[in-house]
Structure 1
Amino acid sequence: MPNETKISKYLVINPPVFITTLVLIVLSLVLCLIYIDQVDEWFAALQYQITSNFGWFLICTVNFILFFCLYLAFSSYGKIKLGGEEAEPEFSNLSWFAMLFSAGMGIGIMFYSVAEPVSHFANPPRETATPYLQAAQAMNFTSLHWGLHAWSIYAIVGLALAFFAYNRNLPMTFRSLFYPFFGEKIHGWLGHSIDILSALATIFGLATSLGFGVTQISSGLHFLLGWEITSLYQSLIILIVISIATISVFSGLDKGVKILSSANMFIAFGLMLLVLFLGPTLFIFKSFIQNTGDYLASFIEISTWNDAFQDKGWQNAWTIFYWAWWIAWSPFVGSFIARISKGRTLKEFILGVLIIPSLITLLWMNVFGGSALHEILNGNTTIIEAVNTDISTALFVFFEDFPFTNVISTVAVILVFSFFITSSDSGSLVIDNITSGNAIDSPVWQRVFWSYSQGIIAVILLWGGSLNALQTAVIITGIPFAVIILIMCYSLKKGLDDELKKLNKKQKLKQEKSYKDIISELIDDQQS
């Protein structure tokens, strides 16, 4: 494999990818700021055209990805181990699950756990006969958006990256996924272009999430301390988060991200228990079982629903938005999952990424979203008003009806901070990995550089008012990435076919050798 990195004492990069990515980032920021009044309108119009005309394609793609994952897990491919037969997992199952959860969904479930079910109740996707059926439908579609389909996208991208990196000794970047098609050409400008696209999607996705997520932190601090929400105040929060993340960067993957992810899980579990036992406990237990059953029972129907007969735009704003967002987010989450999953079999990897995080996410959504709907059904509509006014305040308005409101809200703000730090740290690792050509020994300052780059991009766009436009632009990348992922599935299948042949051949030789040893022993026994 050609050496794609330029190695010196202080710099380990793949120059075409690193430099081009930086230039395009600066150019994008300049254009957003120059055309600040027009850019929102342009991107909104483009997003509408894409989601309206290609939403069906995204729905088909995401369903295919899920069933392809299940096929790989339960077929003979499931016994293939990432890294070869002798490879062993680097992290315990608990640490592995914690890092999956923190990198994949941690920030999102804090923001949407109350807001999304309430929004679906207030503006239902389909007409229902009673408010109770309306609430059940709201939870059903929330489960669709945050359940198996979402995690299957991360699983297939992470699996492909891990397989080609650990079993084929290729760089853990998107270019490697096309080796069966293009061969050594992936080490040229064709491969550079693929890596540049994935690096841009990752850093702008992280920056926009950081920018929008800070609105929830500032809303929480405003609720707790009465601090005024301003761009300067939000910018300081972003820089504080990035600075703390830098400490984690210096600690490394096996310490910084691992420790923070485990802390996230314990804090999140504690917060969930507080809501569970201080809220309508019996209702939550009953609704979780019922809502999970409804989700599984209507799985095919809701996952293929295309809003064809009413077309009121709800699906474009929610389901299509989520599928495009998860796909655009997959280079980051998939790369991070691949980095922490060496030594696991395909079956263990796929089922681990699909089932455990999905169950945790659905439980969380039922505890928070289900409790919020319970309040609404009992006549408390303040949460609906909060969602309609400012979605970032929904979680804290929800906590107002609980005892120890300030304590619970403080824990929630700390958890949002912690999830952001983890995402920033793991995101820096992924971007540095892409732009350095998968260099193992790149200097720490490069990850620090990308960590601060996310924050600076978010701050610039926050002051320029272009965060919404950039989020839309990232979502638009979901369509080309969907095509890339479909090609990747075919490429992965070819690679796994070759791996399975080698594995079966090796096992056959071992078996034949074992038979020969047995026969040899029998002959020796007879002779003696």
Structure 2
Amino acid sequence: MLFNAGIGLVLMFYAVAEPISHFSNPPYGEAGTLLAAKNALNLSYLHWGLHGWGVYALMGLAIAFFTYNKGLPLGVRWILYPILGDKLKGPIGHLIDTMAVVATMFGLATTLGLGIQHINSGMNYLFGIKDSPEVQVILIGIITLCATISVVSGLHNGIQILSKVASIMAIILMTFMLVVGPTLFIIGSTVQSTGFYLQSLIGTATWMEVYRGTHWMDSWTFFYWAWWFAWAPFVGLFIARISKGRTIKEFILGVLLGPTAASIVWISIFGSTAFHVELFGAGGISEAVQENINTGLYSLLQMFPLPYMSILFVVIAGVIFFVTSSDSGSLVIDFITSGGRDDTPVKLRIFWALIEGAVAAVLVLGGGLIALQTGSLVTGLPVCLLMLLVCYSVNKALKKYQEEKKESHE
């Protein structure tokens, strides 16, 4: 559930599209080489790995600690309680919650918009349905209506069931590619690229292309960081709600290591297979991605057995991931706007689900990928500033908590 709520929808499709994009148009080095493939996986791991999940872990830890250990309501505003105290009950608290809702809305809309573009491309492969913003808006409307059914069912009946189904389908798809693809090459690439990622983590994370004068990071790294921050209130609140009873160590390790490992394995299996096709096989995936980035995964699946069935499987999984993301977002926004209550009217959750779909549709019509990226960039910056305060707030609260525990044992 944690992985699905966090990044499942977009990562499923970008596991081929992003590494191939970095392979064809690398920020440094020569394109289309073995070194380009190595760097492409490393950059993809950076964008989907420890840094992003670290943002989620910090936000989730803050919310969980102040809710379960300090008895405060489940909400975003209370993560600054050691700094602002009871002032959070007034306009300042309302402002923080409003910022969290707006960031969640646009972060989620970005995810849904990117996901629906890939779903549309898959339906174009399967049924010849036109790949266009107008069709994507119609698909958003249809799937959003389906999502409201899960919203009505609640966390345990709706989201958990769909999350399990989506996870099972993802594992089946991953296993299929591992078996029909170049298995030994994939395993070797996973081990090697993971080691390179860990070895070069600091250097890659602090690279800023200042000596190049290019703007590659604007479309990739900066967008990803803003997107992760925009999603932080959403995912942080969501994982805090499902993590009651965990120790801080268990929480941090669970949020950081599990999803990061899953992301690396997923990207490596599909990305490495795509590189094998490009470097040692028929090629053609790079050209397809350059023409339409949404076709990366489908272009790869076409080169292996059962292409029609596997693409149909991916589209269905994408729809389920879409519904899961929409459900989770509606639930979290409902929590924030109701002050942490979980007994709000079902109509309110349905309202938020419809609003999420509407915002995603507007962004798709308003400029496609550029509009989606801009939405996350604009809303992610305020949350980034908030997270700086959260670091101080959590540190202060944990120190005080530790002192109180020592005094109680004396």
Q: TM-score, normalised by structure 2?
A: 0.96
CA contact (8 A) 2:133 2:368 kept: no
Q: Can you list the C-alpha shifts for 1:370-396, whole angstroms capped at 9, x where unaligned?
A: 100111112533211111111111111
* Equivalent position to 1:411, from 313, 332, 351: 313
The amino acid that maps onto 2:33 is P
Q: Could you tell me which residue of structure 2 aligns to residue 332 of structure 1? A: 234
Report deviation, 1:231: 4.1
Q: Could you tell me which residue of structure 2 aligns to residue 159 of structure 1? A: 61
* Equivalent position to 2:109, from 207, 210, 214: 207
Q: Which runs of 5+ in 2 are unaligned?
A: none
Identity %: 48
Report deviation, 1:236: 2.7
State the distance in 1 between where 2:118 and 2:11 align: 12
The amino acid that maps onto 2:390 is M
Q: Could you tell me which residue of structure 2 aligns to residue 374 of structure 1? A: 276
Q: Can you list the C-alpha shifts for 1:433-464, whole angstroms capped at 9, x where unaligned?
A: 11111123111111111011111222344345
- Partner SS state of residue 244, structure 2: coil
Q: Could you tell me which residue of structure 2 aligns to residue 74 of structure 1? A: none
State the distance in 1 between where 2:82 and 2:10 align: 35
State the distance in 1 between where 2:34 and 2:370 align: 34
Q: Could you tell me which residue of structure 2 aligns to residue 179 of structure 1? A: 81
Matched, 1:399 2:301: yes
* Equivalent position to 2:27, from 120, 125, 142: 125
The amino acid that maps onto 2:349 is R
Report deviation, 1:503: 2.8
Q: Could you tell me which residue of structure 2 aligns to residue 383 of structure 1? A: 285
CA contact (8 A) 2:226 2:381 kept: yes
The amino acid that maps onto 1:243 is L
Q: Could you tell me which residue of structure 2 aligns to residue 267 of structure 1? A: 169
State the distance in 2 between where 1:404 and 1:377 align: 23
Report deviation, 1:110: 1.6
State the distance in 1 between where 2:96 and 2:163 align: 30
Q: Could you tell me which residue of structure 2 aligns to residue 497 of structure 1? A: 399
Moved more, 366-375 or 433-442: 433-442
State the distance in 2 between where 1:279 and 1:106 align: 22
Q: Can you list the C-alpha shifts for 1:484-528, whole angstroms capped at 9, x where unaligned?
A: 10111110111111222233344x26xxxxxxxxxxxxxxxxxxx
Matched, 1:110 2:110: no
- Partner SS state of residue 477, structure 1: helix
Report deviation, 1:129: 9.7
Q: Could you tell me which residue of structure 2 aligns to residue 278 of structure 1? A: 180
Q: Could you tell me which residue of structure 2 aligns to residue 362 of structure 1? A: 264
Report deviation, 1:397: 1.0
CA contact (8 A) 2:223 2:373 kept: no
State the distance in 1 between where 2:275 and 2:112 align: 28
Q: Can you list the C-alpha shifts for 1:184-239, whole angstroms capped at 9, x where unaligned?
A: 11111111111111101111222232223211111101101112234443223212
Q: Can you list the C-alpha shifts for 1:56-77, whole angstroms capped at 9, x where unaligned?
A: xxxxxxxxxxxxxxxxxxxxxx
CA contact (8 A) 1:458 1:467 kept: no
The amino acid that maps onto 1:496 is L
Q: Could you tell me which residue of structure 1 aligns to residue 377 of structure 2? A: 475
State the distance in 2 between where 1:459 and 1:385 align: 28
Q: Can you list the C-alpha shifts for 1:17-57, whole angstroms capped at 9, x where unaligned?
A: xxxxxxxxxxxxxxxxxxxxxxxxxxxxxxxxxxxxxxxxx
The amino acid that maps onto 1:156 is L
CA contact (8 A) 2:364 2:371 kept: no
Q: TM-score, normalised by structure 1?
A: 0.75
State the distance in 2 between where 1:284 and 1:361 align: 15
The amino acid that maps onto 1:427 is G
C-alpha root-mean-square deviation of aligned residues, in Å? 1.7
Residues 325/208 of structure 1: CA separation in 2 closer, same or farther (3 Å cut): closer
Report deviation, 1:432: 0.7
* Equivalent position to 1:487, from 379, 389, 395: 389
State the distance in 1 between where 2:337 and 2:392 align: 26
Residues 484/281 of structure 1: CA separation in 2 closer, same or farther (3 Å cut): same
Count of residue pairs brought into register by the alignment: 410
Report deviation, 1:476: 2.6
CA contact (8 A) 1:165 1:171 kept: yes
* Equivalent position to 2:212, from 287, 290, 310: 310
Q: Could you tell me which residue of structure 1 aligns to residue 119 of structure 2? A: 217
CA contact (8 A) 1:335 1:430 kept: yes
